[in-house]
Amino acid sequence: MAKAKAKVKKGRCSKCGAGEFITTPNQYDVLTFSKGKFEIVGTELINDFKVFCRGCSAEVII
Ligand SMILES: [Zn+2]
């Protein structure tokens, strides 16, 4: 992800003007490796998700 940061102005990205935003995936699977393959043992959620501009990938700070 890009390190640039942007703000929202009038509902749009302050850097590129895009009106759509995306989040990072906020859950992941926990795996173990046995018998030559990965097995999913559970899914965990990440509480603090970040928002990024869909247009320029800058992290959006509110
Ligand atoms: Zn942008």
**CA torsion through residues 33, 34, 40, 42, sign:** negative
Question: Ligand 1 centre from 41 Cα, in Å?
Answer: 37
**Tens digits of per-residue pLDDT, 4-59?**
899 999 999 999 999 999 988 788 899 999 999 999 999 988 887 789 999 999 99
Determine the Cα angle at 15 with ends 13 and 20, to 5°: 25
Ligand 1 centroid distance, CA of 45 (Å): 26
CA 44 to ligand 1 centroid distance, Å: 29
Residue 1 pLDDT > 80 = no
